[in-house]
Amino acid sequence: MNTATPDHHLVPQATARTVPQALFDELRARFGTQFSVAPAVLEQHGRDESAFTVAPPDAVVFAESTLDVADAVKLAALYRTPVIPFGVGSSLEGHVLAVQGGISLDVSRMSRVLQIHAEDLTVTVQPGVTRKQLNEAVKSEGLFFPIDPGADASLGGMCATRASGTNAVRYGTMRENVLALEVVTASGEVIRTGSRAKKSSAGYDLTRLMVGSEGTLGVITEITLKLYPLPEAVMAASCSFASLSDAVNTTMQIIQMGVPIARCELLDGNTVGMVNRHSKLTLPETPLLLMEFHGSPDGVKEQVQTVQAIAAEHSGNQFEWALTPEERTRLWTARHNAYFAGQQSKPGCRVISTDTCVPISRLADALLDCVDEANAAGIPYFLVGHVGDGNFHMGYLINPDQPQERVMAEELNTKLVQRALALGGTCSGEHGVGLHKMDFLLSEAGAGAVDMMRAIKRALDPHSILNPGKIFSR
Amino acid sequence: MNTATPDHHLVPQATARTVPQALFDELRARFGTQFSVAPAVLEQHGRDESAFTVAPPDAVVFAESTLDVADAVKLAALYRTPVIPFGVGSSLEGHVLAVQGGISLDVSRMSRVLQIHAEDLTVTVQPGVTRKQLNEAVKSEGLFFPIDPGADASLGGMCATRASGTNAVRYGTMRENVLALEVVTASGEVIRTGSRAKKSSAGYDLTRLMVGSEGTLGVITEITLKLYPLPEAVMAASCSFASLSDAVNTTMQIIQMGVPIARCELLDGNTVGMVNRHSKLTLPETPLLLMEFHGSPDGVKEQVQTVQAIAAEHSGNQFEWALTPEERTRLWTARHNAYFAGQQSKPGCRVISTDTCVPISRLADALLDCVDEANAAGIPYFLVGHVGDGNFHMGYLINPDQPQERVMAEELNTKLVQRALALGGTCSGEHGVGLHKMDFLLSEAGAGAVDMMRAIKRALDPHSILNPGKIFSR
């Protein structure tokens, strides 16, 4: 790697720990064919969707049960060796990279939906279940799980990063939708956080502490989630605008009016073009809002009327309706593929994704200058946003062989984060800190709060074996 | 006290620490008239609404700013003396009792609404602001804060106990409605958790860790909350039923249908009688649901039609409407005063309140047997419930001079909690653990999870000066 790239894009090899042969032997004896050191397997477990260089683990254990996870962690603890939980590898922030070496603990085979309590609107799953798999499993009960980060991520990974996505504006994030967890601690003990009760004041909120802890405080082995009745009526539409600020101001007003919109997604014209080419659509290549409304037939009509009036005030065009479920799926698949559409627009590129989230009234202030800055820098990018939440992503498309592009993208990212923090926002709406936002976290939370996080990390993982090197820069 | 009362109703004087005279001197020098050791002041700060005997602190500091809190905590830390945050003293679980002596840190004078961001639906307040005061302050903006535990509690106290109340079925609890906090740590440092962004994945969720930590991890000095637009239409009604199980089954079906009901409260016939006598009402003295619906005029009509149909299927009578805002206020005030109505029904009594919360489908199983058991025991009680959340309270009315009544109430409570835990529920829906539910917490969460909570406590408060003796029994 070229030394001109920022430090945090290099795997900090200096801190990699040596895995003793005895641990390999014990893991092989315990796990047999569930244990692998095959180079292709290591390579696959050392990368994600981020722009970081691959950092393969020393070995991979394919856990098939909570007991497997507990035993693997106990052995790793014995030898003070890092353990990195792995779901499907869809992180955008380097979460699964084995930056200090160690064991990748792949939970993708823990993919059973354990209990559907339709009458309570709850479900308990293993961490390797993906969101699409979960929705297939509960559909026949007339229920769905709304959190939709785009990728068909594992629910364990979604817990670990406190994921959200397109439906969060109405249904909240993983923070609001996880009721309880089973977790293997750093010593290999199995604990439960929370119950199936909808609310509780019984002690510290360990569930919320684990959600978003990025595998650094425990390995999630079971998840109890809220479900929702499938809405009686669903309508989805796109609306194009003459300018980004019109689209953003429309969004701000929708939220301020309290419209319970289910999805409110922004793409700039440039990104609509990428999506058209990738998904063979013919959307107008101007700033675009993609919206979805859930409710009773009358309730949905009411929402649509309100939003149409707001859009019209901001020179929004007529709504284009996705009338059938198939058309809706096509629309949202196209939106979800914006990331890949962006990547495809510059062959061989990697994406450096930003993730700021600001109070809704500051969205225009946060977003419009970033676009101008990217255009001025001449770097290609895509722009998508869960704008109803004040959250948007610039995806800078960099050539990994051109270190200067990475530097430029990170400079733009830094400006963008500084602006969001000054506006009362956060550096990460939903992707997590990982390897990428450690310094941003420090700027955002302050040294005192980060010290408190570190104190918790030390208390729960004294030998720092759980996904070390993430969240904290030192 | 009589030794026949259960241990946890006695103040554990054995562990009380001696407060050195030097600390008194330093506090007096720093705080002047904001410092008090007047017996009446100490007495007032050593009691709450629980049935525990008074445990006065050794001194009271009336903080007027974050700096006051930080300085008081720093001095207490220096002398390893307990600090017990105090709001308005409306806890039901002994949270503010100085069971190990020390300094009561009264934040009720920190009662400023600091920033209303109407355009973002957020507000920042000091911890001594009460919920009614907050709602007065934001009303003119067309906004409201829904969390309503009945008492006009301080928002600091509501954070500390993860409070909820009548509107939680639609709007969630303090867990879902606190965006960010300013907290003074055990060393007297001021940190901030969270931002004004609606969602964030930036590091551990310190906000949710502090919410519900009962003053044992930090002293809350500023709170940023979500607000909601005042609903366009509000309708409130009562509906009486032939039996408790009819009322409970109606509730279960309302929730399972996904009706976005704003309030759904149960009183048994016995409690309606108490309320009638206390609030001079003439409600039918049979099991009663009090309901409120929020939304657009059409949306509210839709909800009401659905709920009326469900109630009719379970032999519910015609809805009695509270048509004007004044009538609505009268109805909800009567509901909120159920606690005092219960107390008044047995002069001189104290209330031992239960607080279990179960998955909605198990509500009948959790509730009906408790009523039979209380009737069989012959102990007077009131029964109120935030039944839309699966949460209900039996308030056993005991004569504090009759230890046997306390024993009987606690035996009933224990059975009730065991039943709720077996049904997948929690021992505390909203009151917290305090001095009262330590053993229940252990049964519910398990030793491993409680050990994790303790490890966090030790990490953040190594000398155990922050509200010691609460949550953990050892």
Average confidence (pLDDT) over B331-351: 93
Q: Which CATH number belongs to the domain containing residue B90 in this structure?
A: 3.30.43.10
Residue of B nearest to A427 (CA): B202
- Which stretch of A11-15, A263-267, B401-405 has the lowest confidence by average pLDDT? A11-15
Query: Which residues in chain A have their CB less than 8 angstroms from residue B121's CB?
Result: 255-256, 258, 360
**Is A427 in contact with B202 (Cβ distance < 8 A)?**
yes
**Is B77 a residue whose pLDDT tops 50?**
yes
Residue A247 lies in a domain: yes
Q: Are residues A214 and A264 in the same domain?
A: no
A366 in contact with chain B, both atoms CB, cutoff 8 A: no
| In-domain check, residue A124 | yes
Residues B373 and B323 in one domain: yes
Model pLDDT for residues B97-128, shown as the tens digit of each residue = 999 999 999 999 999 999 999 999 999 999 99
Please check whether residues B255 and B348 belong to one and the same domain: yes
Looking at residue A93, what is its pLDDT? 95
Claim to verify: residue B143 and residue B221 sit in the same structural domain: yes
Q: pLDDT at position B364, please?
A: 96
How far does A284 lie from chain B, in Å, by closest CA? Answer: 30
Which among B91, B106, B121 is the end of a domain?
B106
Work out how many domains chain A is built from and give that number. Answer: 2
In terms of domains, do A255 and A183 share one? no
Asked if residue A442 is part of any domain, the answer here is no
Name the residue among A193, A206, A455 with its Cβ closest to that of B459. A455
Contact A228, A144 (CB under 8 A): yes
pLDDT in tens, A35-52: 999 999 999 999 999 989
**Do B122 and B192 sit in the same domain of this protein?**
yes
- What does the alpha-carbon distance between residue B284 and residue B172 come to, in Å, rounded to a whole number? 30
pLDDT tops 60 at residue A250 = yes
Same-domain status, B124 and B193: yes
Which pLDDT band, with edges at 50, 70 and 90, does B15 fall under? low
Residue A122 included in any domain: yes
Q: Are residues B370 and B388 in the same domain?
A: yes
Asked if A203 lies within 8 A of B228 by C-beta distance, the reply is no
Name the residue facing B192 among A190, A296, A446 (closest C-beta): A446
Residue B305 sits in a domain of what CATH number?
3.40.462.40
Q: Is A197 at the interface with chain B, CB within 8 A?
A: yes
Within-domain flag for B155: yes
Residue B171: which CATH number?
Answer: 3.30.465.10
Q: Is B86 within the bounds of a domain?
A: yes
Q: Does B178 contact A at CB distance below 8 Å?
A: no
Say yes or no: A187 and A244 in one domain: no
pLDDT given at position B323: 86
Average model confidence (pLDDT) across chain A = 94
Q: Which two tokens stand for residue A284?
A: 């107008």
A67/B contact by beta carbon, under 8 A: no
Q: Is residue B375 part of a domain?
A: yes
**Domain final position from B202, B229, B256:** B229
User: Mean pLDDT, to the nearest integer, of A10-26?
Assistant: 76
pLDDT band at B6 (very low <50, low <70, confident <90, very high): very low
Co-location of A210 and A311 in the same domain: no
Specify whether B99 is located in the same domain as B117: no
Please give the average per-residue pLDDT across B37-53, as a whole number: 95
The whole domain housing B45 covers: 7-106
Residue B465 domain-assigned (yes or no)? no
Same domain, A267 and A223: no
Residue B418's pLDDT band (cuts 50, 70, 90): very high
Looking at the partner chain, which of A117, A258, A449 has a beta carbon nearest the beta carbon of B192? A449
Per-residue model confidence as pLDDT tens digits over A259-292: 999 999 999 999 999 999 999 999 999 999 999 9
Tell whether A441 lies on the interface with B, counting CB pairs under 8 A: yes
Is residue B94 pLDDT above 60, yes or no? yes
- What pLDDT score was predicted for residue B474? 60
What are the pLDDT digits (tens) for B257-284?
Answer: 999 999 999 999 999 999 999 999 999 9
* Residue where a domain stops, chosen among B422, B441, B460: B422
The pLDDT of residue A41: 98
Of all residues in chain B, the percent with pLDDT exceeding 90 is: 95
Show which of residues 421-440 on chain A sit within 8 Å of chain B, judged by CB atoms.
Answer: 421, 424-433, 437, 440
